Amino acid sequence: MVAAHDLKAGMTFLNGDKLLRVMEASHHKPGKGNTIMRMKLKDVRTGSTFDDTYRPEDKFEQAVIDTVGAQYLYKMDDTAYFMNTETYDQYEIPTEVIENELLYMLENEDVKIQFFGSEVIGVSLPTTVVLTVTDTQPSIKGATVTGSGKPATMETGLVVNVPDFVEIGTKLEINTQTGDYLKRA
């Protein structure tokens, strides 16, 4: 059991039959009354996010999440297919559960699949990935890094704001937590 005041971003817990992941957590002390915990939560099974408040002393069962190394094979219709790199077991994950993560994954890339018991609940990505620009406005002559930037579409469909000097075909390093451009690869 874990108390609400001990829950931090990234932790997963059970509330009734819901498996919830903490996206953000903060203490809030109103002018009158008791301290409350404000949290932005994500329902791991449905992918929906919502805000909720709890008393700091509320207790929850912490979920034990296991990870297994796997390779992203391909996406067909509304399912993404992965293969365990050690046992060659294949896993199927509905694309709606990992819609955001798919924007950072290329076929044959290594990722970690998350399990709650025997249930596949998601994919854990590396902190940064390298993707190639497939569409953007032409570069501006004399553009500097400090310019306002322009949108660029990556090979996975992800749209990132990049500096004006970036051209089609450029490989870029992207932060998977924020979706921000970091540097040229």
Class of domain 128-184: mainly beta
Kindly indicate whether the domain formed by 66-124 is annotated with CATH number 2.40.50.140.
Answer: yes
Every domain of the chain and the residues it spans: 2-62, 66-124, 128-184
Question: pLDDT: is 1 or 46 the higher one?
Answer: 1
Label residue 180 by pLDDT band (50, 70, 90): confident
Which residue spans within the chain are E strands per DSSP? 2-3, 12-15, 18-28, 36-43, 49-54, 59-62, 65-76, 79-84, 90-94, 110-116, 119-124, 128-136, 150-154, 159-162, 171-175, 181-184
- What is the enclosing helix (H) or strand (E) of 102? helix 99-102
Average confidence score pLDDT of the chain: 83
Question: pLDDT: is 112 or 4 the higher one?
Answer: 112
Per-residue pLDDT tens digits for 100-113: 888 888 888 888 88
Q: pTM for the complete prediction?
A: 0.71
Label residue 34 by pLDDT band (50, 70, 90): confident
Predicted local confidence at residue 58, as pLDDT = 85
Fold observed for domain 2-62: SH3 type barrels. (2.30.30)
Instruction: Say yes or no: do domains 66-124 and 128-184 share a fold.
Output: yes
User: What is the phi/psi pair of residue 49, to 5°?
Assistant: -115, 150
